[in-house]
Structure 1
Amino acid sequence: MLFDLKVINSVLDQLQDERGIPRERVREAIEAALATAYKKEYGKKGQIVRVKFDSETGKTEFSQVKIVVDETKVIPEEEAEKMRAEEKERDLKDERIYFNEEHHIMMEDARKIKKDAALDDEIVFPLEAKSDFGRIAAQTAKQVIIQKIREAEKVSVMNEYGARQGEVVSGTVQRVERGNLFIDMGRATGILPYEEQIPGERYRQGERVRAYLYRVEETPKGVFLKLSRSHPKFLHELFKL
């Protein structure tokens, strides 16, 4: 799973310039994807894997994180074995955890590495770098990158149009459904409901439309902009242009 740095940096620049997604967010998506692929291919149950990726040099560092715990937070092994043997469910009020050496490290051991280690601190251990991932792990990594970029783009769009709420915006009519207009705003879809339109107006696909942006909504399907041409503030804002 080797990276072509020229391609990676070109993509980072393109996403930042065209979609407003900071390079840092995309780099974080790549790191999350590599961590997911590593854990799927080489990881152990409960293991926390983190990755640092340098887009300038291509250097990739893998590490394992363990959470510091002590006796008060851990169910003793004998008690844990007895519960498993009896298939006994834990009391929901019991906040103690099952110790997993891949996920936890006891306070005594943590302080041998970090003298001032405290409960819930993270102790980081280097892992052997890997670049050879199987097909399933690579596919999973790709899905993680796509998902992370979508999330970052949604945040970017919310920030951009959230700052423009209360302004007159313009877009192109995509389609009309049950009297409601769906308008292409570039990075988001605007909705001009039938009741927010001016009576008697007719709109054609591809026509340029101005409207008042009165609400920005985040949904599982993306960011939608609620528009109005009958809002009391529409004319007021229009004359300010």
Structure 2
Amino acid sequence: MSREILFVLEYMEKEKGIGRADMINTIANAVKTAAQKGVNSGQELKIEINERNGQMHAWALLKVVDSVSDPKTEIHVERAQAIQPGAQLGDIVELEIDPSTLGRIAAQTARQAVMQRLRQFEKERIYDDFKDQVGNIVTGTVRRRERGDLYIDLGKAEAVLRSREQVPGEEYQPDERIRCLLLGIDSTPRGPEIILSRASPRFVRRLFELEVTEIADGTVKIEAFAREPGYRTKIAVTSTDPRVDPVGACVGARGARVKTIVRELGGEKVDIIKYFSDPREMVLEAFKPAVPREIIINEVDHRILLKVATDDLAVAIGRKGQNARLTSRLIGWRLDIEEFKAAGDDPVRSAIDLLVATFGIDASSASRLVEMGINSPGAFEGVDAEDLIDAGFSADEAQTIIARVSASTAEASAAR
């Protein structure tokens, strides 16, 4: 058995990187535990393994007594003194035994312990090798798909790209190369599990950090970020150096930098804008080329109402509300968008306001006049009190309106 143990120690040390002391401790404890449960049941044992030649030694630990009642745990004082001169009652004496007497179960258990320690070491190595790479981009090879999840070979370990971390529309075949963000390492009953992502906003952020040197060295900062995987990403950037255009640095010469990122994202659109701390300026920048005609900011509820011209409405809202949602996440405010209407855009309202301003009548009466077709001062020509009464006005209301129209007409004539 010593040759087998020596082979295991050398293999584990050279091929797997597990130290001899670690494996010796694992094997010795496994043999001891198995033997104490088997043929040496009830006996306290001591197991040692020589790390140079793999030879195993075993001892039974016996208590020195003057009358032996259990030979597995006790030894007579006279015999004890022959083994260990000077042994006294109550002392523990080590009686060497042949390791082969420990039984085949102990040997099998030792082998199982070696394999278990190897699996445990592999799990620990996975964690140690990848714990410092969390948040970085890794490259691997697609191995298989199971229930919508992709399993990626990273060389030293296998990782999983969950279906929820995949980008809609992207398809990968076995043996295809893939780049992902190492999102985290989860602890599972089977050991550490490496979790990847291509849908996380941090994936795009990391791509920018790798592609744009000004972001990597801190000259350009990504201040705000919003993404809908597979469709569009919006980032807002600033520069710590007034001589550096943050947007231009991210776009690159002739768009080279952002094109590289867009290709990696499979054509996902990327909008890069300049960051402003003022939400009003931020909204104006984020909605370009659409230009809000009116911006109403509610500081208390953290909401912004945008009134946009009809021609810009589709651009501002975006496909299925995508642009509005991303902009809302980008600036951190709730956005409400509605169509802008100038005062003259509503003919009924304009007619009512005109009658009120011209004749000094109340808005309710003016509204009723507009409903019966009198929508301008000139429309009163030929209208008398009887016509208004027939339209539903009371006699007093009709007389008051006609009097005010007549007075206004007289004033206009005098002014001419």
Q: Please say whether Structure 1 and Structure 2 have the same fold, judged by a TM-score greater than 0.5.
A: yes
Gapped runs of 5+ residues in structure 1? 67-100, 103-111, 114-122
Task: State the AA in 2 paired with 1:11.
Answer: Y
Of the three residues 20, 24, 27, the one matched with 2:24 is 27
Q: Is the 8 A contact 1:213 1:227 kept in 2?
A: yes
Residue 60 of structure 1 pairs with residue 56 of structure 2: yes
Amino acid at match of 1:26: M
TM-score under structure 2 normalisation?
0.39
Match of 2:136 among 161, 167, 179: 167
Which structure has more helix as a fraction of its residues? 2
Which of 194, 199, 214 matches 1:225? Answer: 194
> 1:50 deviation in Å?
4.2
Cα 1:52–1:235, aligned 2, differ >3 Å: closer, same or farther? farther
Over aligned residue pairs, what C-alpha RMSD do you find? 3.3
Higher relative contact order (CA 8 A, sep 6+): 1
How many matched pairs? 187
Deviations 1:10-67 (A, max 9, x none): 31233434xxx3443323222223323443454232x45343323213343435679x
Which one of the candidate residues 190, 196, 205 is aligned to 2:165? Answer: 196
Aligned to 1:74: none
Partner Cα distance (2:93, 2:176) in 1 = 59
| Secondary structure at the counterpart of residue 230 of structure 1 | coil
- CA offset digits 1:177-217 (Å, max 9, x no partner): 23211112334331111221122211011112221111212
Q: 2:285: which partner in 1?
A: none
Counterpart secondary structure, 2:184: strand
Q: State the alpha-carbon separation in 1 of the partners of residues 55 and 165 from structure 2.
A: 54
Cα 1:155–1:129 change in 2 (3 A) is farther
Letter in 2 for 1:36: T
Residue 39 (structure 1) aligns with = 36
1:157 aligns with one of 105, 123, 126? 126
Give distance in 2, aligned partners of 1:31 and 1:6: 13
Cα separation, 1, equivalents of 2:19 and 2:182: 25
Q: Is the 8 A contact 2:6 2:54 kept in 1?
A: no
Query: 2:152 touches 2:160 (CA, 8 Å); kept in 1?
Result: yes
One-letter amino acid of the structure 1 residue matched with residue 210 of structure 2: K
Which residue in 2 is equivalent to 1:71? none
TM (norm. structure 1) is: 0.63
Partner Cα separation in structure 2 for residue 124 and residue 196 of structure 1 = 62
Report the Cα distance in structure 2 between the residues aligned to 1:170 and 1:48, rounded to whole angstroms: 53
Matched, 1:240 2:210: yes
Percent of pairs with identical residues: 32
Partner-residue secondary structure (3-state), 2:133: coil
User: After the TM superposition, which residues 3-22 of structure 1 pair with which residues of structure 2 at under 5 Å, given as runs?
Assistant: 3-4=3-4, 7-17=7-17, 21-22=18-19
Q: 1:181, 1:194 within 8 Å by CA — same for their partners in 2?
A: yes
User: Aligned residue for 1:209?
Assistant: 178
Is residue 51 of structure 1 aligned with residue 47 of structure 2? yes
Q: CA offsets, 1:146-204, max 9 Å, x none?
A: 22222232222222222222222222212112321111233433111122112221101
CA contact (8 A) 2:142 2:151 kept: yes
- Determine the C-alpha separation between the residues in 1 that align with 2:44 and 2:140: 45
Taking the aligned partners of 2:177 and 2:19, their CA distance within structure 1 comes to 30
Q: Give the unaligned 5+ runs of structure 2.
A: 63-71, 74-85, 212-416
1:221, CA displacement in angstroms? Answer: 2.2
- Residues 209 and 127 of structure 1: is their aligned pair in 2 closer, same or farther, counting only changes over 3 Å? farther
Q: Secondary structure at the match of 2:99?
A: coil
Is contact 2:35-2:105 (8 Å) kept?
A: no
Q: 2: distance between equivalents of 1:48 and 1:218?
A: 36
How far, CA to CA, are the matches of 1:230 and 1:53 in structure 2? 52
Give the greater-gyration-radius structure (CA).
2
Secondary structure (helix, strand or coil) at the match of 2:195 reads strand
